Amino acid sequence: MGSTSAHGEGTTGAGLGRRDLIKRSAALGLVVVPSTGFLSACASGGSETTKGPDKAPVTKENPFGVAKGGKLDVVVFKGGYGDDYAKAWEAAFDKKWGTTSSHLGTQEITAKLQPRFNGGNPPDVVDDSGAQQIKLDVLFKGGQLADLTPVLDAPSLDDPSKKVRDMLIPGTVEQGMQGGKFVSVNYVYTVWGLWYSGKLFKEKGWTPPKTWDEFLAVCTQARDAGIGGLAHQGKFPYYINVAIMDLIAKKGGLDSMKAIDNLEPNAFEGNPVALEAVEAVYEVVEKNLLMPGTNGLTHTESQTAWNQYKAAFITSGSWLENEQLKQTPDDFDMQFLPMPVLGGSKLPFEAVRAGAGEPFIVPEKAANKAAGMEFIRSMLSREWSTLFAQQANSLTIVKDGVDPSVQLRPGTKSAVAALKAAGENTFNYRYPDWYSEMDTEIQNASNELMAKRIQPKEWIKRAQAAVNKATQDPNAKNNRRS
């Protein structure tokens, strides 16, 4: 902006030298340019409310009163799962309800939707995911999320004698709670842990480790064979936190996990379990078992290096296989491994962090809220769940929700097997959804730990400080798990 005004030099009037003008406009530019981009982002619109369409009478088949022939506005995150599944859903929805749906698949959820939320004209259904998602805690605090409890209590499309909530994998509803309300359907069922190449392990004669000592032994063997032991996506310390937090939950049991989510004053500090877990991960660093350079790599770079057999293990969630589809050699034989356990762990080796991801929401101010709710109800049917598995090669939170005819890839297959073996022993943290600032601060500490710039004790201190700070959050009193 400032720089274009400098081009006005040709029309200089008398009394103002050409260079003076350039200088002045440049000075003005100095003021304007750096701030404009950010400041203008602050501009929010007024709060208009759009009038929704007439509602149809509520019946058992139409529990939300969707008016036939209305409009449906869907925005989905177009990431690892693509957006073909959503188009298939919209077609099915339009056919049933005679609606005209508009579709937007994008990575820039915040950029596209923030003005619409602020302007009071949000879409009817949003898949609020990806790196640029609008944080759910933020939306919730702003009163922008519709309560989806009625969807859970509505009759299921598969079996009208049952409620929708009874058709879902246990624990997945809890995942969508904010401040005691059910506001998001986390649709994709994900497991987190370590991943390895079945081919590499067979070739080298390694057995997948079950304890942390065995894990370190395999890493050492790998290092001696000229391969890195553990790779992680260093530029995004989210991933190494999978290892740290899994170890804490497995060693200390669900109580240790809940202590963190509930922001207990001894969540990290004074909790020997947490220190042991962090020290275990730090051992990997100290014994030089990391893939060289992995601390500075992006997720794509490190995962691709792992696909090229440059490391034995990598931390990730089960989207990994889809994400690396193109980079994975055909005979790679991607395998999932639950996080190996420390001695005396309360949870067995088979226990996995598993949970629902990819949150779908209905905005409170949606023009056609009824259709949005009905859309969510349809997603939680076996038919739509199968559509998703076909298009995105991933599991959903619908219990037994994939038709057996759908063929799964090796990584996903191994994840399903691990889930089966885990049975009731699944766990999942809530703090990343509840307290984004605390999550970020713990990630920063982990980044420092992996680079050997801080010691485990210092990590514990910093993590506890982040927890203590989060207790100031106005939602902290509602966000409790028991």
Partner 1 sequence: MSHVAQGKGRNGFIAGFLLVPLALYLTFVIWPYVQTFGYSFTNWTGQSPTFDFVGLDNYALLLKDEVFRGALWHNLLLLVFVPVITILLALFFAFMVNAGGRGGAGGVAGVRGSAFYKIVYFFPQVLSLAILAVLFGAVYRSDQGGLLNGVLVKLGLVDPTEPVEWLNEPRLVLWCLLLVVVWHGVGFYLVLFSAAMQSVPKDIYEAALLDGAGRAQTFFKVTLPLLWDSVQTSAVYLGIAAMDMFVLVSTMTSGQFGGGPDHHSEVMATVLMRNFLYFGKSGYACAMGVVMLVLTMILSVVTLRATRRERIEF
Shortest approach of partner 1 to residue 66 CB, angstroms? 26
Q: Whole-angstrom Cα distance, residue 418 to residue 406?
A: 19
Instruction: Return the number of the residue (162 or 477) whose C-beta is nearest partner 1.
Output: 477
The answer for 62, left when phi > 0, alpha when psi is -120 to 50, beta otherwise, is: beta
Instruction: Return the number of the residue (11 or 405) whose C-beta is nearest partner 1.
Output: 11
Shortest approach of partner 1 to residue 389 CB, angstroms? 31
Instruction: Return the number of the residue (14 or 43) whose C-beta is nearest partner 1.
Output: 43
Residues at the interface with partner 1 (CB under 8 A)? 1-3, 19, 22-23, 26-47, 110, 114, 117-118, 120, 134-135, 137-139, 141-144, 234-237, 288, 291-298, 301, 305, 436-437, 440, 443-445, 447-448, 451, 453
Shortest approach of partner 1 to residue 48 CB, angstroms? 9
The beta-strand segments (E) located in 86-171 are 100-106, 125-127
Q: Whole-angstrom Cα distance, residue 117 to residue 138?
A: 12
Instruction: Return the number of the residue (390 or 436) whose C-beta is nearest partner 1.
Output: 436
98 phi and psi, to 5 degrees? 65, 25
Instruction: Return the number of the residue (6 or 217) whose C-beta is nearest partner 1.
Output: 6
Shortest approach of partner 1 to residue 111 CB, angstroms? 9
Instruction: Return the number of the residue (177 or 354) whose C-beta is nearest partner 1.
Output: 177
What is the 8-class DSSP label of residue 457?
H
Q: Whole-angstrom Cα distance, residue 37 to residue 45?
A: 17
Q: Whole-angstrom Cα distance, residue 184 to residue 146?
A: 9
Shortest approach of partner 1 to residue 136 CB, angstroms? 10
Instruction: Return the number of the residue (297 or 337) whose C-beta is nearest partner 1.
Output: 297
Q: Whole-angstrom Cα distance, residue 436 to residue 160?
A: 39
Shortest approach of partner 1 to residue 47 CB, angstroms? 4
SS (H, E, C) 157-215: CCCCCCEHHHHECCCCCHHHEECCEECCEEEEEEEEEEEEEHHHHHHHCCCCCCEHHHH
Length of the chain: 482
Shortest approach of partner 1 to residue 355 CB, angstroms? 21
